[in-house]
Amino acid sequence: MDPAPYPAGVTRTPAPLVLLDLDGTLTDSAPGIVAGIRHAYGALGLPVPDDATLRTFVGPPITDSFPAHGVPADRVAEAVRAYREVFAAGGMYDNRVFDGVPEALRELRAAGCTLAVATSKPEVYARPICDRFRLTALVDGVFGAPLDEGTSTKADVIAKALAALGRHSPVDAAADGPAIMVGDREHDVHGAAEHGIGCLGVTWGYAAPGELEAAGAVALVDDVADLATAVLARLK
């Protein structure tokens, strides 16, 4: 049944939009990703980066991270294939939802927000991960990169989400309602900024010290228990 019409002179206020990164924001995915990266370097016969460097692979497209950390450009495709052998075989489920995330998502939905996952992870992996960890039912859409993730940026993923949800880019708050990105890495901040969206940085993820501040995050959240309150404060 169609909703009853609004009285004359009253307009519907668009729902606020919250775009959510996946790795390092909603889930602690480092164990499975790092295992796959280690396997890739071993398969190529290349020195494995140290643990701190391996954690920086979580978030950005791996097609950017491999060449940045010692994989020759002509062997990146080989490294990606080796990584995905392990990741697709089950490594992507060596993962967990951060404590308190489901409750935060439910609180934001109860407050009337539209929620969408926007991740640089290929969508063919992001969707089953969200299904497995029961996140899909808590959001209004899951959007990710194409399998050839080197052809996509975080801004591209956000553009895809905005288009699917019927929003403008740059976001028009008067027409669409307010919007915010929630993420743990600098590419979340930069990708959102390309669409006129601020990014709330979360510190429980994989950013280096000072990374989110330098990128221009509008604020930082240190505890998942404070996430919903921080998001709603920024959407006012």
Measured CA to CA, the distance from residue 127 to residue 117 in angstroms comes to 9
**Which residues, in sequence order, are CB contacts of 75 under 8 Å at separation 6+?**
44
Q: How far apart are CA 97 and CA 173, in angstroms?
A: 31
Residue in 21, 156, 176, 188 annotated catalytic:
21
Secondary structure E strands in 108-162: 114-122, 142-145
Q: Taking every pair of C-alpha atoms in the chain, what is the biggest distance, in angstroms?
A: 70
Alpha-carbon distance of 97 to 29, in angstroms, equals 8
Cα torsion angle, 107, 166, 153, 211, sign: negative
Is 23 an active-site residue? no
Distance CA 132, CA 95 (A): 10
**C-alpha pair distances (Å), 48 with each of 60, 62, 70, 91, 206:** 18, 15, 9, 18, 19
Helix axes 76-88, 30-44, angle to 10 degrees: 130
Q: Which residues participate in catalysis according to the annotation? A: 21
